[in-house]
Amino acid sequence: MSMESVAWDVMYKSSHTPDDNKTRRADRRATTRRIGGFARPHRRRIVVFLALSVLMAVLTVVTPLLAGRVIDLITDADSSAGGAIVGLAVVIALIAVAEAVTGIGARWLSANIGEGLILDLRRAVFDHVQRMPVAFFTRTRTGALVSRLNNDVIGAQRAFSDTLSGVVSNFVTLVLTLGVMLAISWQITLLTLILLPVFVLPARRMGRRMAGLARESAEYNARMSTQMTERFSAPGATLVKLFGRPDRESAEFADRADAVRDIGIRQAMLQTYFFSALMLVSALALALVYGLGGWLAVHHHLSAGAVVSLALLLTRMYAPLTALANARVEIMSALVSFERVFEVLDLEPLIQDRPDAVDVPGVGDGVSVRFNDVSFTYPAADKVSLASLEEVAQLDSRGGTTILHHVDLDIPAGKMVALVGSSGAGKSTIASLATRLYDVDSGAVTLNGVDVRDLTGASVHRTVGMVTQDGHLFHDTVRANLTLARPDIPDDELWAALRRARLDELVRMLPDGLETIVGERGYRLSGGERQRLTIARLLLAKPAVVILDEATAHLDSTSEAEVADALAEALAGRTSLVIAHRLSTIRAADEIVVIEDGRVVERGDHPALLERDGRYAQLYRTQFARA
* d(C-alpha 213, C-alpha 267), whole Å: 7
Residue 360 φ/ψ, nearest 5 degrees: -60, 125
- Average pLDDT in the 405-418 region? 91
The pLDDT of residue 328 is 61
For 527-580, the three-class secondary structure string (H helix, E strand, C coil) is HHHHHHHHHHHHHHHCCCEEEEECCCCCCCHHHHHHHHHHHHHHHCCCEEEEEC
Longest CA–CA separation in the chain, Å: 123
* d(C-alpha 266, C-alpha 210), whole Å: 9
CATH for 414-426+457-626, among 3.40.50.720, 1.20.1050.10, 3.40.50.300, 3.90.230.10?
Answer: 3.40.50.300
Alpha carbon of residue 180 to chain centroid: 47
Plot region of 562 (φ>0 → left; ψ -120 to 50 → alpha; else → beta): alpha
H/E stretch holding 154: helix 153-158
Closest CA to 156 of 32, 49, 40: 32
* d(C-alpha 432, C-alpha 376), whole Å: 11
- Average pLDDT in the 518-540 region? 80
Cα torsion angle, 52, 53, 56, 61, sign: negative
* d(C-alpha 369, C-alpha 408), whole Å: 11
The pLDDT of residue 453 is 93
Q: pLDDT tens digits, residue range 218-248? A: 667 666 766 676 677 666 776 676 666 677 7
Q: pLDDT tens digits, residue range 160-171? A: 666 666 777 778
Q: What's the burial of 97, exposed, middle or buried (CB within 10 Å: 0-12/13-18/19+)? A: exposed
Q: pLDDT tens digits, residue range 14-72? A: 444 444 444 444 456 677 777 777 778 888 888 888 888 888 888 888 888 888 888 87
- Long-range CB pairs of 250-254 (<8 Å, 24+ gap) are 252/227, 253/224, 253/227, 253/228
Closest CA to 245 of 257, 233, 234, 253: 253
Range with top average pLDDT, 190-199, 383-392, 561-570, 574-583? 574-583
For 277-299, the three-class secondary structure string (H helix, E strand, C coil) is HHHHHHHHHHHHHHHHHHHHHHC
For the chain, give the number of residues.
627
pTM: 0.68
Residue 134 has pLDDT above 70, yes or no: yes
Q: What's the burial of 21, exposed, middle or buried (CB within 10 Å: 0-12/13-18/19+)? A: exposed
Per-domain residue ranges for the chain?
3-345, 414-426+457-626
The pLDDT of residue 404 is 92
Residue 479 has pLDDT above 60, yes or no: yes
List b or e across 47-82, with b for residues whose CB sees 16 or more CB atoms inside 10 angstroms. Answer: eebbebbbbbbebbbbbbbbbbbbbbbeeeeeeebe
Residue 7 has pLDDT above 70, yes or no: no
C-alpha angle 365-368-369 in degrees, rounded to nearest 5: 155
Give the strand pairing for 545-549 and 464-468.
parallel
Closest CA to 386 of 350, 343, 351: 343
- DSSP codes joined into one string, 424-468: TSSHHHHHHHHTTSS--SEEEEEETTEEGGGB-HHHHHHHEEEEE
The fold of the 3-345 domain, in CATH, is: ABC transporter transmembrane region fold (1.20.1560)
Q: Which residue has the higher pLDDT, 42 or 322?
A: 42
- Average pLDDT in the 457-473 region? 84
- Average pLDDT in the 504-529 region? 81
Q: pLDDT tens digits, residue range 244-288? A: 667 777 887 888 788 888 888 887 787 677 667 667 777 777 787
Residue 502 φ/ψ, nearest 5 degrees: 60, 45
